Amino acid sequence: MSNIRKIVIIVAIFAALFFVYRYFFVSKPTPALEVSGVSASGNAQAGKDFLVALINLEHINLDAGAAVLTDQAFARLEDMSVSLPNEEHGRPNPFNPIGIDTGAIATTTGSQSSQ
């Protein structure tokens, strides 16, 4: 009986070692590289889809888009832009150590004209 018990224990140890080896040391096969949902094997199809979309772009007529500019809804749009005040800029060279600034702090105004 003791010989059978030894054989069962040895087989159980080898089985446990086998599963530990498979779980920790054997690398799992990696799936095909995916970029934006397209696998490496689907690159040819993605290229064909891109060409079809590019050909469809050639048939767009931009003159029909000008009708949007004469639409009443477009005419009712309001300019909601905000005017930002001019403020001082930072140091002339922000990478210099503190206290070694040379030159004045640059400021900009919207009324300057280039001559």
Per-residue pLDDT tens listing for the chain (115 residues)? 688 999 999 999 999 999 998 888 877 766 555 555 545 556 778 888 888 888 888 877 766 667 777 888 888 999 999 998 988 888 888 888 888 876 655 555 544 444 4
User: What local confidence, expressed as pLDDT, does residue 42 receive?
Assistant: 61
- What percent of the chain is helix, strand and coil (3-state, nearest 5)? 45, 5, 50
pTM: 0.27
Q: Are 105 and 89 in contact (CB under 8 A)?
A: yes
Domain residue ranges in the chain = 1-26
**Model pLDDT, residue 74:** 83
Distance CA 87, CA 77 (A): 30
**Whole-number pLDDT of residue 37:** 52
> How many whole angstroms from its chain centre is CA 37?
13
H or E, element range at 38: strand 38-39
